[in-house]
Amino acid sequence: MDYRDLLGYKKSFELAMKVFEVSKHFPKEEKYSLTDQVRRSSRSVTVTITEAYRKRVYPKSFFSKLSDAEAENSETQVWLDFSLACDYLEEVKYNELTAINNEVGKLIYYMMNNPDKFGSSKI
């Protein structure tokens, strides 16, 4: 299996691209703060899931990388919360992104709790 076949990869990539699209409309003064941060954290989830999968033969590294991915996913949610609070996102779009974010979190936890299904073993 290729890492691009992982549902966690696909969903986190989808979220990162949706975040990129909505953040294009954030105010210019947010370019180096909120816009940059939400884009970085959302992309980092996808990258870190990929790194975890590549390190799956090392159970502790696999788990650690997935833990990092979950932390980045949580950070993305906080930036989305700020985006809503600052009126940069409409509530409907916020809810859509939050639902995908929650799904990504569940997929990461699934990987953490079922490492054998991804070619790793329990710690």
Quick: pLDDT tens for 46-83: 999 999 999 999 999 999 999 999 999 999 999 999 99
Phi, psi torsion values for 70, nearest 5 degrees: -65, -40
Burial class, 6, CB count within 10 angstroms (exposed 0-12 / middle 13-18 / buried 19+): buried
CATH of domain 3-116: 1.20.1440.60
Residue 3 DSSP class: G
Domain locations in the chain as residue ranges? 3-116
The pTM score is 0.94
